[in-house]
Structure 1
Amino acid sequence: MISIFQKFESEGILGINRRIGEFILPNNPREHYPLVDDKWKTAELTRQFHVPMPKHYGVVDTFGGIQKTKNLVKDHPGFVVKPANGGMGNGILVINKTEVLENGNVLFHKSDGRVLLEKEINHHISGILSGLYSLDGNSDTCILQERLECHPFFQEISFRGIPDIRVIVYLGYPVMAMLRLPTKESGGRANLHQGALGVGVNLLDGMLTHSVCNDKLIYVHPDTKQTLSGRVIPHWLSILEMSSRCYDMSGLGYLGVDIVLDERRGPLLLEMNARPGLGIQIANRMGLVKRLKLAERIVNSADGPKDRVHRILEELKRN
């Protein structure tokens, strides 16, 4: 009798232990982790490699500096507050609109409809600095970032927040992708752990395939009631090439690249992840192992980002 583990192995399902032992540890030098774990360092890196990213308005790195937040964002009625070393979407606060009252008090309108006072924003930033949301629990830095405008492609199928596209890149070759769509349950955040949708994407053409929410297959968005499969993500080739370039930029052989589509600026790098999760396999109803082994077979050190994308797409067409 075949065990469930043998069945997973035959389907090429990548598990956590194998992901770490066979793909992350040999290919991701520890000294490169800060380049992707610290979003401020990532932003500095993207400028060197000419990779577009949401603009940073400023950084708050001391408790005494919290009071300057209002001045850093005064010319930007919408903005994002996020921990530099956060993970899984924790600690991110999206402000859609800033309202100055006649008495001088400031109200901050969140993407989920709630309104925060200035002292509440400051309290949240204080939590970030204390390390409340950091990956390692140590003290952190707060980044004030541009709030993006949702690309028209997503307006019908997403709930409030900005969706993102996760691409797994191995040895510089994009091997699997999914779209993450915010829901009411996720509070408008594109994070699977908080209830966002994961939608598989055909790597060849950017077409949406299967959808999952809380690890269960679904066929329509629970809030917008729209069918998702069959739609094609715009700028798909540019998204794959940007993902591939992140390999050269980060020095990491196995990474997750998160890209957003802005209405005005097109594809932008949101962040990179040295330990991307495995839920992408559920969304695609496909194991990662075969794709990773394909990248190992075709790897060519002379390839640049465009060459790598072309090479793996050609291989996938043949198989």
Structure 2
Amino acid sequence: MISLFKKFEEEGILGINRRIGEYILPYNPREYYPLVDDKWKTAELARQFHVPMPYHYGVVDTFGGIRNTRELIQDRPGFVVKPANGGMGNGILVIVRESEAANGSIQYHKVDDKILSEKELQHHISGILSGLYSLDGNSDSCVLQERLECHTFFREISFRGIPDIRVIVFLGYPVMAMLRLPTKESGGRANLHQGALGVGVDLRTGKLTHAICNDKIIHIHPDTKQELSGRILPHWETILEMASRCYDMSGLGYLGVDIVLDESRGPLLLEMNARPGLGIQIANRMGLRDRLQLVERIKNSADGPATRVHRMFQEL
């Protein structure tokens, strides 16, 4: 066991305790957490900083307001239901379309082909308001958000849902990235905890490298049967600059930035995370610690997002 820990140390693997003690606590002031934990507040912040996000149709924050859900989503080409203070993809519903049942009632079609009645949708929103999916277990709000159109780059390598790109940003400098691809097991959601794929990304080029699923190394997508490595993500520099700008926007020194690629709108900020997980190291087959220490050596408070990205390109 001692030799295993020594090997992790030599490989620069960042563990949970060190992540919290050396990066999250010193660099992430607690007063800024609500800006990233609450997705509605994140959307307002992004609007102020001119960072593009999926459109928000509205928010349901009272049980009485559930009856108005239909008005917020009527005539929308699909939508997403998510807890404002949720985490790890819990409580998110992706609705691709609605239809009329034989009895004349409205029914909603999920991305995994399952169908919800209007009453079932309202029951799910009630669970969100009760805090069933919130990070702290307290009562929550429900955000109704635009459903995006998957970029053509992903159509061969993703199962139904919308993939996202997680970028770890430290003091404004992007240090590591991975692509998260939905699978049948994950129900079309890009969340590793629910069975999505994590694919390492070369930070300088945007080229896909190694892939994992349920912490096991794989080479092809289990559902699409397509090989993943070697493909190059479009809009890569724009993605990294957007992730870098989130440092200035949020005030958090160590954060995970999740970005999606929409077919017509390009890169969009999905959300920010003040406590990003460490699975990104497995997907990239390298530790975070060396890159975090690199940033501590080269950081310059005068640098803007574009400069910080190019500085990392030069140093890697």
CA contact (8 A) 2:190 2:197 kept: yes
Quote the Cα distance in structure 2 between the aligned partners of 1:48 and 1:145.
18
Corresponding residue number in structure 2 for 1:124: 124
Corresponding residue number in structure 2 for 1:213: 213
Name the aligned partner's letter for residue 308 of structure 1.
R
Name the aligned partner's letter for residue 96 of structure 2.
N
**TM-score scaled to structure 1, two decimals?**
0.98
Quote the Cα distance in structure 2 between the aligned partners of 1:165 and 1:281.
14
Deviation string 1:37-59 (CA, Å, 9 cap, x unpaired) is 00000000000000000000011
Corresponding residue number in structure 2 for 1:68: 68
CA RMSD, Structure 1 to Structure 2 (Å): 1.0
Deviation string 1:20-50 (CA, Å, 9 cap, x unpaired) is 0001100000000000000000000000000
Corresponding residue number in structure 1 for 2:80: 80
Quote the Cα distance in structure 2 between the aligned partners of 1:98 and 1:305.
41
Quote the Cα distance in structure 1 between the aligned partners of 2:104 and 2:283.
48
Name the aligned partner's letter for residue 282 of structure 1.
I
Quote the Cα distance in structure 1 between the aligned partners of 2:241 and 2:254.
16
Deviation string 1:174-217 (CA, Å, 9 cap, x unpaired) is 00000000001111110000000000000001000000000000
Deviation string 1:208-231 (CA, Å, 9 cap, x unpaired) is 000000000001000000000000
Corresponding residue number in structure 1 for 2:164: 164
Deviation string 1:159-182 (CA, Å, 9 cap, x unpaired) is 010000000000000000000000
Correspondence list, 1:296-311, <5 A? 296-311=296-311
CA contact (8 A) 2:168 2:174 kept: yes
Quote the Cα distance in structure 2 between the aligned partners of 1:249 and 1:204.
23
Quote the Cα distance in structure 1 between the aligned partners of 2:252 and 2:157.
33
Name the aligned partner's letter for residue 93 of structure 1.
L
Name the aligned partner's letter for residue 160 of structure 1.
R
Corresponding residue number in structure 2 for 1:223: 223
SS of 1:80's partner is strand
Corresponding residue number in structure 2 for 1:10: 10
Corresponding residue number in structure 2 for 1:39: 39
Quote the Cα distance in structure 2 between the aligned partners of 1:293 and 1:285.
18
Identity of aligned residues (%): 80
Correspondence list, 1:147-226, <5 A? 147-226=147-226
Quote the Cα distance in structure 2 between the aligned partners of 1:141 and 1:16.
29
Corresponding residue number in structure 2 for 1:274: 274
SS of 1:248's partner is helix
Quote the Cα distance in structure 2 between the aligned partners of 1:120 and 1:180.
29
SS of 1:25's partner is helix
Deviation string 1:62-116 (CA, Å, 9 cap, x unpaired) is 0011011011100203000000000000000000001134754101000000111
Q: Which runs of 5+ in 2 are unaligned?
A: none
SS of 2:121's partner is helix
Name the aligned partner's letter for residue 274 of structure 2.
A
Name the aligned partner's letter for residue 220 of structure 1.
I
Quote the Cα distance in structure 2 between the aligned partners of 1:300 and 1:200.
27
Quote the Cα distance in structure 1 between the aligned partners of 2:308 and 2:162.
28
Quote the Cα distance in structure 1 between the aligned partners of 2:166 and 2:134.
21
Quote the Cα distance in structure 1 between the aligned partners of 2:72 and 2:268.
22
CA contact (8 A) 2:255 2:274 kept: yes
SS of 2:33's partner is helix
1:115 aligns with 2:118: no
Corresponding residue number in structure 1 for 2:59: 59
Quote the Cα distance in structure 1 between the aligned partners of 2:265 and 2:94.
19
CA contact (8 A) 2:111 2:160 kept: yes
Corresponding residue number in structure 2 for 1:90: 90
CA contact (8 A) 2:77 2:147 kept: no
Quote the Cα distance in structure 2 between the aligned partners of 1:256 and 1:291.
15
SS of 1:241's partner is helix
SS of 1:3's partner is helix
Corresponding residue number in structure 1 for 2:138: 138
Q: CA 1:186/1:102 → structure 2, altered by over 3 Å: closer, same or farther?
A: closer
1:106 aligns with 2:106: yes
Quote the Cα distance in structure 2 between the aligned partners of 1:19 and 1:101.
50
